[in-house]
Amino acid sequence: MTTLVTGSRGKIGSTLVTLLHRTGAPVRAASAAPEMLDLPPGVEAVGCPLDDPAAFPAALDSVTSVFLYAEPSAVDAFLTEADKAGVAHIVLLSSSAVEDPEAADNPVAALHLTVEQALAASPVPATVLRPGAFAANALQWRWALRSAGTIDLPYPGSYSDPIHELDIAEAALALLTHDRGRGGTYHLTGPESLTFAEQTTILADAIGIPVPYNTVTPEAWKSSVADYLPGAFADGLLNHWASTDGSPTPLTGAVERLTGRPARTFARWAAENADAFRDAR
């Protein structure tokens, strides 16, 4: 009854490994760099780059369920091997971006859509989690605060539904350890729809220091991130932010339906991560 958790170096994957271990469920932590994993005692580590089919047989040996990150490059080979290994259930970490009518033209959405389509064509039963904006996306603001003392926002009035990563991991845990809810598709949101400007205010309250921002043009923002964000991805983000500027994000309540308790607030996430922002100021 072993669960394979792919992407175990990531925040959600590593948290899920810990949660599964606490329940006493056998868990195998997979990563492209297993030697860098920090695992609970007794948890097995295995090398499993999701773009390397040669790694799949060993990683999936004796596995009955999988938590899968959305990596499309070898997903068909992974699903074929999962079927051969007798995997009975996959929980996919996808994205709510696939719900956009133009998802196929958005590079972020398109990669998740490709994996969802592969799962739909596979004989292995699957459940899809589509979280919206991660609360931890706010951590990227630390670098601007450290270097310039302010944040550049092209759309400060753009709304999102920041979701705590622990809520995503607990939703996955519920699906991997109980039959209830399996086979569905869940759009996971936080409990509030907040603008970027409102998020900076919440962060400022949490750290006790102002978190100022400048309103900049989309072109200026894209230029400022060009060294580390490909232009197509930057365009995808800008298009999304423009579409949600002044438009509150619909909330789903899916976290509570899966876990039995309300989703954690952005204020709670900010309080838990306050030191990271104080260090940046």
pLDDT confidence tier of residue 280, bands split at 50, 70 and 90: low
**For 239-255, what is the mean pLDDT?**
96
User: Which residue, 42, 35, 74, 27, is CA-closest to 55?
Assistant: 74
Kindly give the pairing relationship between strand 63-69 and strand 89-93: parallel
Residues 65 and 146 in one domain: no
Kindly give the pairing relationship between strand 159-160 and strand 126-131: unpaired
**For 111-121, what is the mean pLDDT?**
97
Residues 51 and 15 in one domain: yes
CA 136 to chain centre: 9
Residues 84 and 126 in one domain: yes
180 in a structural domain = no
Instruction: Please give the pLDDT value at position 108.
Output: 86
Tokens of 114: 């490709």
pLDDT confidence tier of residue 100, bands split at 50, 70 and 90: confident
Count structural domains, the chain: 2
Residues 195 and 124 in one domain: no
Average pLDDT in the chain: 95
Residues 206 and 116 in one domain: no
173 in a structural domain = no
254 in a structural domain = no
CATH code (residue 270): 3.40.50.720
Q: Which of 131, 150, 168 is the last residue before a domain boundary?
A: 131
Range of the domain at 210: 135-160+191-249+260-280
pLDDT in tens, 131-175: 999 999 999 999 899 889 999 999 999 999 999 999 999 999 999
Residues 153 and 114 in one domain: no
Residues 47 and 153 in one domain: no
Residues 38 and 143 in one domain: no
Instruction: Please give the pLDDT value at position 130.
Output: 98
Determine contact, residues 170/259, Cβ cutoff 8 Å.
Answer: yes
* The Cα angle at residue 194 between residues 189 and 197, in degrees rounded to 5: 145
Tokens of 66: 């999988």
User: Which residue, 46, 63, 41, is CA-closest to 8?
Assistant: 46
Tokens of 176: 């991997």
Examine the pLDDT at 281 and tell me if it is beyond 70.
no
Residues 48 and 82 in one domain: yes
Instruction: Please give the pLDDT value at position 279.
Output: 72
Between the CA of residue 78 and those of 8, 49, 56, 66, 93, what are the distances in Å? 17, 11, 6, 11, 15
Q: Which of 131, 151, 176 is the last residue before a domain boundary?
A: 131
183 in a structural domain = no
91 in a structural domain = yes
pLDDT confidence tier of residue 111, bands split at 50, 70 and 90: very high
Q: Which of 131, 149, 177 is the last residue before a domain boundary?
A: 131
* The Cα angle at residue 66 between residues 121 and 8, in degrees rounded to 5: 125
- Max CA pair span of the chain: 55
What does 116-136 look like in DSSP terms, one character per residue?
Answer: HHHHHHSSS-EEEEEE-SBGG
pLDDT in tens, 47-96: 999 999 999 999 999 999 999 999 999 999 999 999 999 999 999 999 99
Tokens of 273: 């991560």
Q: Which residues pair with 129 in a beta bridge?
A: 93, 186
76 in a structural domain = yes
pLDDT confidence tier of residue 101, bands split at 50, 70 and 90: confident
50 in a structural domain = yes
Instruction: Please give the pLDDT value at position 258.
Output: 97
**Would you call 22 exposed, middle or buried from its count of C-beta atoms within 10 A (0-12, 13-18, 19+)?**
exposed
User: Which residue, 83, 56, 86, is CA-closest to 71?
Assistant: 56
Tokens 């580590």 found at: 45
pLDDT in tens, 262-278: 999 999 999 999 999 88
244 in a structural domain = yes
Examine the pLDDT at 231 and tell me if it is beyond 80.
yes
User: Which residue, 187, 226, 188, 206, is CA-closest to 270?
Assistant: 206
Instruction: Please give the pLDDT value at position 270.
Output: 97
pLDDT confidence tier of residue 104, bands split at 50, 70 and 90: confident
